[in-house]
Structure 1
């Protein structure tokens, strides 16, 4: 056998073996055995298509860093599907700038793909770019049945109180997909904001019929019934909200007021007393804890606000006054203002020896700092 023939046979054998191995890997991937598939795929990493399969496998098991690495190895200019999948993974990993530039390159190659424009809108929205709505509108123009684009546009119309326009867009979407939960919810809210309460409650009920349950749905249903003086139904649905938040004092008070409308004064008394009992619980510790967290985040203005609420709950707690003093010192830039804070505290609480001792020491340090700065 000639050397040339032998070499040809070896090449054919190797290619056949490689093809067989990749078929095994494809089967492993199809059956969800992604890690095993990766091991087999890695026998042929010189092939861009194989690298893309490795990327998809890593993405399937949640190893996004490695998935991105293999996407970069396997991407080619004209493989638009894989490039789009790469963009979506960049977005998922919050690499918005790179995702945006990659997607704009795709749009340059295929400007009539509605999903490209929609995804660009999603990226822009994530970065608080108000032009996102323009991309959703472009996607909608290219595909008037695009449910996600329709929802985004309708949501913006509801938010800007353009209720009639919103209703038209929502209805177009529901004609194509009648059980779109997001659009049904938006439809119900839109009718509620327009004060069409009977129609709104029908759409909130449709959400329940489709298996959707939430505190928001039950609360809005209750309000719809109450607006039309159907207080028994209003009570029924408001009570359902309590399973999500049993200590909701506002919900209890509202239920009590509905019972009052029905002249059921015993139940009215029961729920209103429960509401007042919850509301009467002091929250000084909770507000103080919140203030401490804000201090850790160096958001001293918010910490001061939280301490003020804690003081309102319990004005006699000197420790809260003192800790608010420390937050104000961090927040204020002017050294004279800081000095006055400590002087005022010492005058207000002269009998609080421990706190006054600390305040006096800090006051002295501030005065020395002021003196040194003035002599420089």
Structure 2
């Protein structure tokens, strides 16, 4: 009898295990084709989840975009046989979620065990770079540069490059760092090191082109900006900087081509039109020069009422009534019929002025001005203005009665 029970138990256990394996296979297949929600449901249905299942759940949630759930499952996965893999992905997701201190701790823990992994240093550098810190220089420390003392993430990027001289992202971060500091020889050294192993790295090429551009080496800047365009890159920044480099080298026709390309990204940019007007003068295309010159004037002098109105609303919400009134008035100077700016002015006056009768007059003037409109009876702003006018009338009447 005992043997029979044992036999039945083994059959049931094998069936349960087969069902679990089957569910796991189905879930893996669903994940592979991007059906993340159903994959998650299958993984969740497993009775005995191990850390490998938690890792799959974390990845599925991350792919789906439910990042908080992904973080939770990564934390559970980072305790088993896939600990290193889970911690690495967990740390990267923490950076994505802007939890930089937590990411710093995760990668520091990994580095303590895996001291020769370059990407762990790079990822920790990314986290450190975004952590606010007090800058303090120790004048007694003569063994490191000031940049290293006050910018710890640079040490991590340098360590990543020391461990892997082809680490493109670390090289790129260092190149950008030195570009901001105008240390152009270091930018070029790092850029060429990166391009040795990855000649089409457009981020590196862009940094190199900018290095030459900002130090005034026009021919070199042209070479590398042209290379970006050859690689399919097209932005206003690239075309504008290449156009200016041509301009400085008096290559006016080529400069015009690039500024026209830049104009496609920003058709109402008064600076681009003004520059094109100058360039067309150089090549004696006076009709084109006139057209772009007029457009430059038009866009330079265009009304900025909306910008003023937006500022007035911003200050109104901050309850900075003085500035709110100032920018509402500026918007109305640009356009006296800017209805929203005028109503904002009335609202601000209601909060800013002590003279209730003066405020009431503003409401009455506003209502009178806009009551004859075609859709005035459906206008919610006018309805609010009338309600406030009536309430002010009652308040003033009551105040007059109390004084008598």
Q: Smaller-chain TM-score range?
A: 0.7 to 0.9
Choose 199-208 or 273-282, whichever is displaced more.
273-282
Shift of 1:306: 8.2
**1:268 equivalent in structure 2:** 289
Pick one of 27, 31, 34 that aligns with 1:32: 34
Pick one of 274, 296, 301 that aligns with 1:253: 274
1:109 aligns with 2:130: no
**Do the aligned residues in 1 keep the contact of 2:304 with 2:331 (CA within 8 Å)?**
no
**Do the aligned residues in 2 keep the contact of 1:258 with 1:268 (CA within 8 Å)?**
yes
Q: Map of 1:1-376 to 2, 5 A cutoff?
A: 1-42=3-44, 43-76=46-79, 79-129=83-133, 130-296=151-317, 307=327, 310=330, 354=361
Within 2, Cα distance between the matches of 1:60 and 1:205?
Answer: 37
Q: For residues 213-272 of structure 1, what are the alpha-carbon distances to aligned partners after superposition, in whole Å with 9 as ceiling and x for unaligned?
A: 111111011101100011111111111111111111111111111122233333322211
**Do the aligned residues in 2 keep the contact of 1:44 with 1:50 (CA within 8 Å)?**
no
The 3 A distance-change label for structure 1 pair 218 and 299 is farther
Shift of 1:305: 12
The 3 A distance-change label for structure 1 pair 202 and 300 is farther
CA RMSD, Structure 1 to Structure 2 (Å): 3.5
Q: For residues 116-166 of structure 1, what are the alpha-carbon distances to aligned partners after superposition, in whole Å with 9 as ceiling and x for unaligned?
A: 111111122233454222221121112111100000000011110110111
**Do the aligned residues in 2 keep the contact of 1:283 with 1:310 (CA within 8 Å)?**
no
Within 1, Cα distance between the matches of 2:128 and 2:326?
Answer: 34
Choose 121-130 or 159-168, whichever is displaced more.
121-130
Partner of 2:264: helix, strand, or coil?
Answer: coil
TM-score (norm 1): 0.78
Within 1, Cα distance between the matches of 2:274 and 2:280?
Answer: 10
Q: For residues 1-57 of structure 1, what are the alpha-carbon distances to aligned partners after superposition, in whole Å with 9 as ceiling and x for unaligned?
A: 432333233323322332233223223322333222222222134322112112211
Structure 1 gaps, min length 5: 331-341, 356-376
Partner of 1:27: helix, strand, or coil?
Answer: helix
Within 2, Cα distance between the matches of 1:121 and 1:29?
Answer: 31
Within 2, Cα distance between the matches of 1:165 and 1:309?
Answer: 51
Within 1, Cα distance between the matches of 2:6 and 2:125?
Answer: 58
Partner of 2:179: helix, strand, or coil?
Answer: helix
Partner of 2:125: helix, strand, or coil?
Answer: helix
The 3 A distance-change label for structure 1 pair 5 and 154 is same
**Do the aligned residues in 1 keep the contact of 2:313 with 2:324 (CA within 8 Å)?**
no
Q: For residues 326-358 of structure 1, what are the alpha-carbon distances to aligned partners after superposition, in whole Å with 9 as ceiling and x for unaligned?
A: 69x99xxxxxxxxxxx89xx9xxxx99957xxx
Partner of 2:284: helix, strand, or coil?
Answer: coil
The 3 A distance-change label for structure 1 pair 119 and 243 is same
**Do the aligned residues in 2 keep the contact of 1:238 with 1:251 (CA within 8 Å)?**
yes
**Do the aligned residues in 1 keep the contact of 2:270 with 2:295 (CA within 8 Å)?**
yes
The 3 A distance-change label for structure 1 pair 167 and 104 is same
**Do the aligned residues in 2 keep the contact of 1:45 with 1:51 (CA within 8 Å)?**
no
Choose 275-284 or 192-201, whichever is displaced more.
275-284
TM-score (norm 2): 0.73
